[in-house]
Structure 1
Amino acid sequence: MSENQFKISASPHIRSKSTTEGIMQLVTIALFPAAAFGVWNFGIYALAMLVTTTAAAVATEYIYQKLMHKPVTVRDFSAVVTGLLLGMNMPPTAPLWMGALGSVFGILIVKQLFGGLGQNFMNPALGARCFLLISFTGPMTRFVYDGVTGATPLAQLKAGEAVNSMEMLIGRIPGTIGETSVIAIIIGAIFLILTGVIDLRIPGTYILTFVIFVGIFGQFTEAKAGLFDPQYITAQLCGGGLMLGAWFMATDYVSSPITKKGQYVYGILLGVLTGLFRLFGGSAEGVSYAIIISNLFVPLIEKATLPKPFGKGGEK
């Protein structure tokens, strides 16, 4: 038997050529279709918001790490992704300073003060968005489309009004900058799947659980949807931040489970919470809160689903 079969090395024993910088760059590319559609849909001010949130995120990370005499990691593109995602979750009429403040909160409070990349306990972009929603509810929930201020399709749906699902699919509706076009989001999601950045476990389980939930309980809302009403379910899927959240934020490596069973549990929890918030909560939306609450359960989910080692103290 060859001595090469007995070589011993320190962990990790499974290595990958993927780097944080490479993965974040791929995510940035995948976000481009939805971001570009948002700029086309809402105008140059939407571009200004995306640039502001991204620049503020990168600057905050750079300044903090310089002041704390830590290695500067802005080249890994994680701050770029956080800033871009926050900008895509901002209404196109919100003040630019508000987007910048959100980026500072997300990078400084949610990410850096907990140890930086790999240590944050929730998605920084969503943590920042929820902070802004609580602090500035009015501007963060005011949506203008074609110069007219009005309710989003989800708000109309919650009130029992009819909505145009095709317009929601394309994205010609009021909403945040990056959430309106399901087609653009799916293009980015397919790119991430093909490049191996994400798989279907979390987003697939999330969306399927949500469909089952609203299919059963939609009949008890103001919309009075029938059991598994296709039009109602389609509108719920295309409205709000469900698709953006499912494909780009729920799949965040740091704040989602690493175990396969845990990812399924995580997806189910996301679907149930989103359904509860949307159908029975005070707001028509609920994706942001569903994801950050689920992020808090990740350590418990991983503890419960971590495979037991064989041998002493493990499974026999």
Structure 2
Amino acid sequence: MSYYIFAFDPAAVPTDGELMPWFEEQAKWAEPRDYNDPAGSAPALQALYRDLIRVFPAMNGPDSSAGEPEDVDSLADYSHGSSILYVSFFWSKAEEAREVFVRLGAKHGVGVCEISETPVVIHRPTPGAPHTHTLDAITSMRSMASWLSPDPERAKRRLDEELERLGSTGAFGELRLAVVLSTIAAGHEYDEDHYTGEYIQAGGTAERLTVEVRMLESDGTSRQCTVGRAVSGTHEGSETLVFGNNQIVVRASEVLTAAEAIGLFRHYYEHHGIPEEWHLREVETDVPAAHDEDLPDAAPAEAGAGEEQRKADGP
């Protein structure tokens, strides 16, 4: 199985609605050119290709090597059109290839289409506007990281779509488990290590999910909190949320819907915080013990997991 993705010259396809019909024409490979050779492609696509082959060597064309690299799965098959760069990666490299391709596509100002995704995901450059956030969609099979468009309306639509898909089964039978919106360090958007360590994440299903936020204080310390509705009184029961092989016990007021999470994610994207009317509970704070009959057979998540593992696995 291969993982496919392509970059395109945005000037050749002005709107997203035109992209797939345009791609179908390009995929006939009818141009009078050698599709193994980058010569004659749009300059930005050639620059992207030069960066890509440093990470994923070409198995075809003038830049291919007679010998095999130590990691054969890092090889990629490149097809060059005048306005398109279509690439096939080994499936074992899908997650890494996707992250690198989208990041470098943004760097070189080209459009990117994740054609292996269902539905396809389209990224367009926004000239002069820096990227401020990344979005991770975590499934039962992989974590898919991508740049969030600098265009606010496109970014918010993407957030809505990902949160509404939680709990659904996508391509290849993978279950969508969690969504993580992370902030990018100013001036470091194209660096491999560009995260600030601050994020908001949601895990569960569109009908029943939980939201956490991680914030850095002025003294450099961090706080990770579960977000819940403000409730009167202190006596509140707990509920167990199960998503994939993960489960987490939260307060009843912390079981949210996708519609509520969308409001929180949009506010975090726009204001880098949580609205004042919501309650924040430190994740180390205990919640009332769930009744045994409420617990599923799956083993509970190990307490005290590190921040990186917690983020990778979802809330």
Please state which band the TM-score falls in when normalised by the shorter chain: under 0.3
Q: Normalising by the residue count of structure 2, what TM-score does the alignment of the two structures yield?
A: 0.28
More helix by share: 1
More strand by share: 2
- By relative contact order (CA 8 Å, sep 6+), the higher-ranking structure is 1
